[in-house]
Amino acid sequence: MSDLLEMTLCEAADAARAGQVGAVELLEAALAAVERHDGRVNAVIAIEPERAMAEARALDALPADRRGVLHGVPLAHKDMFHRAGEVSTYGSAARSTRRMQATAPLLTRLDGAGAVSFARLNMAAFAMGPTGHNPDFSRCCNPFAPARITGGSSSGSGAAVAARFAYGALGSDTGGSVRLPAACCGVVGLKPTQGLLSLEGVMGLSESLDCPGPIARSSRDLARMMDVLDRPGHEAAVLQDIRGLRLGLPTSYYCDDLHPEVRDNLDRAAAAFRALGATLVPVAVPDHSAYADLADAIWKPEAAALHLPALQSGPGALPEQARARLMQGLATSAVDYVRARRLRSLALQDMLSGPLAACDALLVPAMPRPVPLAAEVEAGSGDAMRHNLAAITAFTRPLNFLGLPGLVTPSGLDRDGVPLAIQLIAAPRQERLLLQLGHRFESETGFNRLRPDLLAWSALFY
């Protein structure tokens, strides 16, 4: 059964549609992997095996001409996508008995294409945290190195796909929460253009910055998911040649203060794209230094307004850290909020008329430093924690502020065998271009096929 889980999402779906493997067989393999390894990874909050198995059996009974493009593929999702009649915890034990009234349209689309969503995945409480820590459900561990962070807040989504529990997953990205787990866990994550995918039936954090996005093990897998979540055409686009496309290498911000391993890795990625026929050009990037504070002035008051009933109901309704961050939103002035929204539009125009007019996409690191140890970002580590948290999100948060799409894909391993990743950035609604670039890079390098050896570090736990 382990061989089944080494297939990509597209390979598994195509095999199931052709009758070479059954939906029940794929689901049984996924459930067995969770049972065997999740005690070490802690990616899964809950499994719904009865519903999932009933769906898989029904899919196996379908004639070939009624099988969808995701036929029989086991998926799992960040525990903030609502499904009617089931719990959605938002990563907080305080919500462990609240059942949803309706199913998120994104889940409905995946269901309609034949996917089998079988598990709810770990996440930072109320999607506030980029590391994978959770006070109620415990820290989600990086499948490549348990002492390292998974990235967050979609920690379980990145870890579950990397650990071969699921062929793909949904996460949400308000400051990098899809792309960071993808980068840390050696998988591929897409933050689409702001507003492209529906937020209905998804826990809200910031109506201006929230963005659902998929995680999988290849850009082609993501393209097939996007054919379902958005509209067809993404998978066909990834097969196109990238010769003649211009990739911009920023001469500021995204190249400032890079760790030597990250800088060398970026150089190798640029060389790989050059060998594929892309043209690498230097581009000047507008000053991004204020974007983090401006984004704070937007998401914090929006989150406080959204979760105001929980804030007003007393300390037990929210985890302590989430409550503290939401309280900061109550202190943000209306002037600061409106100013940040206005500057956001101006900043986007600067990017579109500047670097993104000089190239088709930007090539940058996903993070300025290798994946940090979890101990370096735990509460109580003082100034080091704040410095590390700022570094983790430095290259992802600007895209949420700007509303731009971004793709993160693996680009190798650091000296400790932990994934490194690049990020590709393009103009709005250029997801197909990003997936095309990602697919060609992955086909050339094979880094997305690297897998963690979960058994190798089992002795650390038992």
Q: Is 153 a catalytic residue?
A: yes
CA 372 to chain centroid, in Å, comes to 18
| Greatest Cα pair distance in the chain | 60
Q: Measured between alpha carbons, how far is 443 from 65 in angstroms, rounded to an integer?
A: 30
Write the DSSP assignment of 149-199 as a string of letters. ---SSSHHHHHHHHTTS-SEEEEE-SSSTTHHHHHHHT-EEEE--TTSS--
Structure tokens at 36: 């065997």
In 3D space, the residue among 31, 21, 232 whose CA is nearest the CA of residue 117 turns out to be 31
Active site residue 155: no
Residue type (1 letter), 57: R
Question: Left, alpha or beta for 412 (phi > 0: left; psi -120 to 50: alpha)?
Answer: left
Q: What are phi and psi of 221, to 5 degrees?
A: -60, -45
Q: Which of 78, 172, 206, 218 is catalytic?
A: 78
Among the options 157, 177, 208, 411, which is catalytic?
A: 177
> Tokens for 369?
């430093």
CA distance 159 to 187: 9
Q: Is the dihedral of CA 294, 322, 139, 30 positive or negative?
A: negative
C-alpha span between 177 and 154 (Å, rounded):
5
Q: At what angle do helices 219-229 and 9-17 cross, to 10 degrees?
A: 60
Phi-psi region of 97 (alpha: psi -120 to 50; beta: other; left: phi over 0): alpha
Read out DSSP for 335-385?
A: HHHHHHHHHHHHHHHHHHHTHHHH-SEEEEESSSSPPPBGGGGSTT-HHHH
Of residues 153, 154, 172, 208, which has the active-site annotation?
Answer: 153
* 333 assigned to active site: no
Contact indicator for 125, 135 with CB cutoff of 8 Å: yes
Annotated catalytic residues are 78, 153, 177
